[in-house]
Amino acid sequence: MVEPKAWQVTAGSAALGLALAAVAVVTAGPWDSGQRKAEREWAVAQNRAGGAHHDPSAPRTPAPAPSAAGVLSALAAADTTRTRAEPGGAPPADLGRTLGKLLDADALGPSRTASVVDTATGEVLYGKGAATPMTPASTVKIATMVAALSALGPDHRIATTVMATPDQRKLTLVGGGDATLDRKRLGALAGDTARALRDSGITKVELHYDTSLYSGPREHPIGPNDNIAPVVPLMAGQGRLDKSTTGPAPRSGNPAGDAARTFAHLLRERGVRTARPPAAGKPAKGAEPLARTYSAPLADLVERALTESDNDIAESLARQTAIAAGEPASFAGAGRAVGAELTKLRLPLKGTRFADGSGLNRKDKASAALLTALLTRAADPDRPELRPVLTGLPVAGFTGTLRGRYGGTPPAAGLIRAKTGTLTGVDALAGTVVDGEGRLLAFAFLAGATKAPDTARTALDALSAALVPRTPSAPPPAPLPARGSAIP
């Protein structure tokens, strides 16, 4: 996007933007499916009472998911089980007995907690150590996303800006924290910049890059790791050194410098040379914006981060929350900002710690009760801005980090949406499912000191699958071998 000083190229950029938008609609991933918009509009427009329609004379069209009550019921620290009648294909009548046996699976290790909540009422249907703080691994992203959406709103976009001195001979590429910036958008930014410079008769510039938006350590506490790039506000392609776009990959040790060098190369391709390789530095005094590119709306970033468990986006959005709260854009500042934002939402935060935004840090602490409360808040009809947290959850057997799971636990595939969490010895799953009575349930299962991720994931899949409505021909999952007891 060209700034007003370079208005001559605006029309061309707008035409290009419309063309790219049309292509994006056709090729969008699961987080751009339109479901988020439809659910947001429904949440605003429909009756606030929530719940699905059961009128047999009504048209047979998909009913919206039930919505949460405006005020959550208190989440008790004590273990709690609520049972309900079992009509036809509903889950087992003794929910506590079924989940209890599955939760005792040896594969889940000695420390395991659980929470199942009816999002329409806030009623706790099942709880086992639900208020006990555990290492949540990547399920902490749910908290990060709720905080970011609450603080910034779903339409917030992150800018990457080219600043220029009054004579336009010194440029600074300023990182705004967009972890989704890629070579294609960087090329469009270079194109806008080059056109503005040519209009002023300039074909040679001095280029710098600015990463001063963030403070504190740039390396995640886990150190150099294929799961995350150095946490800086300027990067292209998330600093990946291969052609991948998701998942682990070798990362650059200096993604900001690499992005600036790529930008310089793209400028040269468009007829603007740089006097020397780009160097780190802030914009010169008197510099003004020359061109900008913006990320997709925050709602889309949230959905992408949850679907693919994207650590780079998660850390970026935690820092966006910190900036909005007036905190330093660091690990510590982001943790305080996320906690403060969730406090405003009246969520159960006792014992919680947000050491990072992605869940890679073992010092993160969250309870199963907090995770189900977050999901319940995201279903609240009075909080439509939080709905991308639900629509971004991977679909069992189909999308994101659940694409390869639930194959052996029918009929759960396609019916469960959940965020995964995995560290060595830590396995977690938190998400939603519609039960046999048409109610949207939020669930969270956390396990620590697990021996093997594969068997732990199978046990977690079985727990969530037990909430799926069943027919007589589809028995509930068989419990895995049990050992020990759950956390009291």
Which amino acids are annotated catalytic? 138, 141, 309
The three-point CA angle 42-47-51 to 5° equals 85
- Pull the structure tokens for residue 378: 């995201």
Q: Which residues pair with 366 in a beta bridge?
A: 134
CA 326 and chain centroid, separation: 22
Helices and strands, number each (H, E), in the chain: 12, 12
Cα–Cα dist 116/83, whole Å: 12
Closest CA to 3 of 292, 380, 315, 386: 292
Give the position of tokens 């093997």: 452
**Element of type H or E holding 164:** strand 159-164
Question: What DSSP designation does 427 have?
Answer: E
Cα–Cα dist 442/422, whole Å: 19
Q: For residue 168, report the phi and psi dihedrals to the nearest 5 degrees.
A: 60, 20
Written as one letter, the residue type at 482 is A
Question: What DSSP designation does 108 have?
Answer: G
- Pull the structure tokens for residue 479: 């419990």
Collapsing DSSP states into helix, strand and coil, what is residue 84?
coil
Give the position of tokens 């510590």: 332
Cα–Cα dist 443/463, whole Å: 9
Cα–Cα dist 260/14, whole Å: 25
Ramachandran assignment for 42, one of left (phi > 0), alpha (psi -120 to 50 degrees), beta (any other): alpha
Cα–Cα dist 122/120, whole Å: 6
Closest CA to 181 of 328, 53, 292: 292
Contact (Cβ atoms closer than 8 angstroms) between residue 139 and residue 88: no
DSSP string for 257-322 = HHHHHHHHHHHHHTT-EESSS-EE-PPPTT-EEEEEEEPPPHHHHHHHHHHHT-HHHHHHHHHHHH
Cα–Cα dist 132/240, whole Å: 37
Contact (Cβ atoms closer than 8 angstroms) between residue 31 and residue 391: yes
